[in-house]
Chains A and B, each alone.
Chain A
């Protein structure tokens, strides 16, 4: 279903070293993102997931190495950061994706509104375009933010813990949306702690201050890699007759990546 042999890569990172005034918080990162792939980005709190995203978005200059982003990047934050009492509809939020695409003094016209409505249709919320953002469920809000990235015409979507706080049906809807986006030739990089979910995707990037591993989940997610990624916080339970062990990771609070992001922004 993925078009991995399309028109070249969307992003290529080589020997990346990135950080803030206090020095590097991430180093030795090298990977390539082809069109139409779903990449899980695993790592502990402070492991560098947000830093990597900021570099890919062009908000943070690398301290070393090279970063070549060819497709437009769109960031999909956690919905917890958005204010639920804010006076905007789902369509208003999707239209925010036009901010960098049309001159700042121009108001979105019919073309931009049509584009935003199409993006909301794509994420299955066409009928709720006029609904207040704060009235939507967590899963719906997450999909509105994805629609905003689609309006930005992002070829590479960077999602920050999008499954946090979602119930099973919402998670399934979001998962199938990511599958569809990849089938269209877009790529998604999803910061997550859920190693089990990542096994169903195309690639996994493990970070813990450095790149621990990158590759297909089946061959990459070994116990050694998970322990290196999470600093030995891996409990292993014996498989129940399947011949394979089941790994359970220590629970992480769902705000951790958001907290990391805020800290790195100095807020």
Chain B
């Protein structure tokens, strides 16, 4: 009985502190956004775009931190500069879109690193790379919550478009789908989701919550809405595990969460491999006889 009470106290204690409550709120926001949107990121195969975007807005974060502005403003400006630069350089057929993305992202990330690591920068600014989930302010949270609502409402409204275009984009127009609308909307939503999650996970780790939980959920369920719900739940679980690790073991918060996301994915992958080996799922995968 005594052990149970101690365990309960250990579980509850972190959330009695203001700093941990704010961290939990950030985990909820990025879990909900990353889990739900992540399923589309995976099926539209834009994980690389999401990663590029999160790296490219790094200098914006650094400038915002140096000027004392909310990080979201800096991230937004950084993402906009990256998008414009990629659009301009990508138009040159001799450069090509892939090369343009790689060049712009490398240049911007390098610029951010130079700014962050210069002698005049205040200490701790390098945390922008890996996130500072314990340092999220109330204003940051409010802005992130607003963006999260925009992302979730957009996902509801665009669900049928995303589903139809992702199913068969070459003939989507014949049923009233618009691949252009779906692609552009998805990239805008990815940018917004990066802004929501970048404070917690930093420029380098943010892609973990956008891809990891959805990739795990894809192994476990096979319908889109349940997949989005499960991915959100897995993101929340990983986030909470990460915060406990951070609180009790003293590990960096963002890195702990990213590590938990990867650990959950590996566990699901191992479970899926085991299931395949034992043949439990084989019957479901067999083609049905004509009815």
A128 to B171: give the CA distance in the assembly, Å.
24
Bound-state CA distance A81–B166 (Å) is 11
Q: B161 near A: Cβ within 8 Å?
A: yes
A87 and B160 form a contact (CB under 8 A): no
Complex Cα gap A137–B175 (Å):
23
Q: Is A219 an interface residue (CB 8 A)?
A: no
A28 CB contacts on chain B under 8 angstroms: none
* CB neighbours of B222 from chain A (8 A): 87, 132
Q: Is A75 an interface residue (CB 8 A)?
A: yes
| A105 interfacial contact with B, CB 8 Å | yes
Establish whether residues A77 and B168, one from each chain, have CB atoms under 8 Å apart when the complex forms.
yes
- Of B115-123, B269-277, B282-290, which stretch is located at the interface? B282-290
Q: Who on chain A is nearest to B289 by CB?
A: A137
**With A83-B167, A99-B161, A104-B161 as given contacts, are A57 and B174 in contact (CB-CB < 8 Å)?**
yes
Q: Does A183 contact B (CB under 8 A)?
A: no
Nearest opposing residue in chain B for A87, CB measure: B224
CB distance from B163 to the nearest CB of A (A): 7
- Residues of A contacting B171 in the complex (Cβ-Cβ under 8 angstroms): 75, 77, 81, 261
Quick check: B285 and A135 within 8 Å, CB to CB?
A: yes
Residues from chain B with a CB closer than 8 A to the CB of A89 are: 223
Complex CA gap A169/B289 in Å reads 10
The answer, yes or no, to whether B227 is at the interface (CB within 8 Å) is: yes
Question: Which residues of chain B are within 8 angstroms of A267 by Cβ–Cβ distance?
Answer: 170
Closest residue on chain B to residue A92 by CB atoms: B163
Closest-CB distance, B121 to chain A (whole angstroms): 45
Report B-chain residues with C-beta under 8 Å of the C-beta of A108: 160
Instruction: Tell me which residues across on chain B come within 8 A of A45, comparing CB atoms.
Output: none
**Bound complex: CA A262 to CA B171 (Å):** 9
Known A-B contacts A137-B287, A173-B290; the reply to A82 vs B175 at CB < 8 A is no
Selected A-B contacts with CB under 8 Å, 19 pairs: A57-B173, A59-B174, A74-B175, A77-B170, A77-B171, A86-B167, A87-B224, A88-B167, A92-B163, A96-B160, A96-B163, A101-B176, A104-B157, A132-B222, A132-B223, A135-B288, A137-B288, A140-B291, A261-B171
Additional A-B contacts beyond A96-B164, A104-B160, A148-B175 (13; CB < 8 A): A75-B171, A81-B168, A81-B171, A86-B166, A87-B224, A88-B167, A96-B163, A96-B177, A97-B175, A101-B176, A127-B291, A128-B288, A267-B170
Kindly list the 6 A-B residue pairs having the minimum CB-CB distance in the complex, ordered from nearest: A100-B176, A75-B174, A99-B176, A77-B171, A87-B224, A105-B157
Interface residues of chain A, those whose CB is within 8 Å of chain B, are 57, 59, 74-75, 77, 81-83, 86-89, 92-93, 96-101, 104-105, 107-108, 124-125, 127-128, 131-132, 135-137, 139-140, 148, 152, 169-170, 173, 261-262, 265, 267
Q: Which residues of B contact A (CB under 8 A)?
A: 39, 43, 156-161, 163-164, 166-168, 170-171, 173-177, 218, 221-224, 227, 284-285, 287-291
